[in-house]
Amino acid sequence: MCVKPAYRFLYDGFTKKTDDTSRSMKTLRQLHFDNHYAKLPEICFSEHAPQPFENPHLVHFNADAAALIDLDPEQANTPEFLDFATGRQLPPGCRPLASCYAGHQFGQYVPRLGDGRTLLLGQVRNDQGESWDLQLKGSGTTRYSRGGDGRAVLRSTIREYLCSEAMHGLGIPTTRALCMTGSDEEVYREQIETGAMLLRMAPSHIRFGSFEYLYYEERHEDLRTLADYTLAQYFPDLLDTENPYLALLDSAIASTAALIARWQSVGFAHGVMNSDNMSIHGITLDYGPFGFLDAYDPGFICNHSDHSGRYAFDQQPGIGLFNLSCLAQALLPLIAPEPEASAEMAKQSLDRYQSFFIDAYSANMRSKLGLRESHHQDKALCESLLDIMAASHADYTQVFRHLSETDKLDTLCDLFIDRDACKSWLHDYRARLRLENSEPEARSRSMKQVNPKFILRNHLAETAIRKARDENDYGEIDTLMRLLKNPFDDNPSFDGYAAAPPDWAKSLSVSCSS
């Protein structure tokens, strides 16, 4: 039996962080809901009512995400909000639907996936005119559940909730988490767990697979309608280009390359980079068995079910290109009337992905090393650091953060088993720094803005999950939310959260089961 826990609201960070204090905050009733996705052809979605849990309770509410839709955070305390966040009672204008998509899963095309446990409730437009999708995950079965129970468990919901906000704190584009609710309803996975729901937000949840579905079903007119809708709603500037459909592909290529360059430089592995988990906006979408690197291992596989290592950390940039080529294939009928011309244009666009990625990744890594200028030896300098980190199993985040403490460079080698290799690298690094003569204090300040001290290490998420699951204590979730919101701050009283994983965490494994 789950005892409803006392929930603490902590708005201190929120009031400090809101830049536009003149913005008027609204009650749930004052928000204007709509669902423009429901205007797409019927093949694109299926309407369903959410299937609520008995006796749900709020696990956590994220005032920062609420601010994006002008929602007053005090609303979290109201029964109306709980009814909304658990799908029991939806405000007027909501029109819950499961969207239909397909996708390449582990390289194989799967003809019909769709939202099997998620409903798009609708969109809210904020005072700035931005439209935000509100999607409820864990809300019960849909036409696309394919034998699944339509539920999400508390464990995986906490992981997505924490990670999406941690990614946002790192400045990495992502879906956002508005709130999480729990229940005492049993959900069966590898063991019996309790069900939970996540209310998440994004400009849209349109995936590469949304286009693939219509392409492979040979519904090319519907495909055009979806592309026109995507352009008009989210990329109106592209409508003025010579070929808007090609421009949509180009936009996905550029934003995906930039996104994966951010993942690689912060040490994030997504775990299930199927094309149905890739956003047309180039934001991180669908958190499952993700993982941040602890000890640097380029071949790190965070998904226990990924036996071949298809989605290993160092494979992500290449998989990004594979997924973009799936999207390009789906857009071919729109790009040009003649198949050869269309394929040639798409190919030319895809050919640019590699240089977009390399340029973005190199710039990120130069900033992480505190280098303002670009010199020919930088690539080798960075690669040799990564090589010695891999050989010494050095902690990825700690090494770069330590490097940012420009007055403590000598102690960097304490993080390496092979101290001589580290000393030799430091010798080259100092020589490189002399070329641009940067002032150490200023360099340290800027490096600390790109080298986080705190990331959502697996063991930190696991501790929060265990406290929530076993003791109904959500305090650790709240602590992590506040800490990871500002991962670049020193926060010395939280030094323990920056440590490498303890021994008990080494055997943790994460699978797709969520």
List the one residue from 86, 194, 277, 303 that touches Mg ion (CB under 5 A).
277
Residues at the contact surface with ligand AMP, assessed by CB under 6 A: 113-117, 144-145, 148-151, 272, 277, 286, 288, 512
Q: Which is nearer to ligand AMP, 113 or 484 (CB)?
A: 113
Q: Please tell me whether residue 69 adopts helix, strand or coil conformation.
A: coil
288 binds, among Mg ion, ligand AMP, none (CB under 5 to 8 A by kind): ligand AMP
Q: Is 503 a catalytic residue?
A: no
Tell which phi-psi region holds residue 86, choosing left (phi > 0), alpha (psi between -120 and 50) or beta.
alpha
Q: Which of 133, 276, 306, 395 is catalytic?
A: 276
Q: How far is the CB of 222 from Mg ion (least distance, A)?
A: 21
Single out the residue of 76, 79, 35, 46 nearest to residue 59, CA to CA. 76
Q: Which is nearer to ligand AMP, 113 or 293 (CB)?
A: 113
What distances in angstroms separate CA 395 from CA 268, 311, 389, 392, 503, one per listed residue? 13, 21, 8, 9, 15
Site string for Mg ion, 12-51 (x = CB under 5 A): ----------------------------------------
Other C-beta atoms closer than 10 Å to the C-beta of 130 total 12
Phi, psi of 125 (to 5 degrees): -100, 125
Q: How far is the CB of 110 from ligand AMP (least distance, A)?
A: 9
Q: How far is the CB of 510 from ligand AMP (least distance, A)?
A: 12
The three-state (H, E, C) secondary structure of 214-283, written as one string? HHHCCCHHHHHHHHHHHHHHHCHHHHHCCCHHHHHHHHHHHHHHHHHHHHHHHCEECCCCCHHHCECCCC
| Interaction of residue 99 with Mg ion, rule CB under 5 A | no
Q: How far is the CB of 53 from ligand AMP (least distance, A)?
A: 14
148 binds, among Mg ion, ligand AMP, none (CB under 5 to 8 A by kind): ligand AMP
115 binds, among Mg ion, ligand AMP, none (CB under 5 to 8 A by kind): ligand AMP
Task: Candidates 88-96, 208-216, 284-292, 430-438: pick the segment binding Mg ion (CB under 5 A).
Answer: 284-292
Task: Candidates 172-180, 215-223, 280-288, 291-299: pick the segment binding Mg ion (CB under 5 A).
Answer: 280-288
Q: How far is the CB of 207 from Mg ion (least distance, A)?
A: 8
Q: Which is nearer to Mg ion, 277 or 323 (CB)?
A: 277
| Interaction of residue 286 with Mg ion, rule CB under 5 A | yes
Q: How far is the CB of 93 from ligand AMP (least distance, A)?
A: 24
The three-state (H, E, C) secondary structure of 323-387, written as one string? HHHHHHHHHHHHHCCCHHHHHHHHHHHHHCHHHHHHHHHHHHHHHHCCCCCCCCCHHHHHHHHHH
Q: Is the dihedral of CA 82, 146, 316, 155 positive or negative?
A: positive
Distant-in-sequence, close-in-space partners of 213: CB < 8 Å, separation ≥ 6? 100, 101, 102, 111, 112, 113
Binding site for Mg ion (CB under 5 A): 277, 286
Q: Name the residues annotated as catalytic.
A: 276
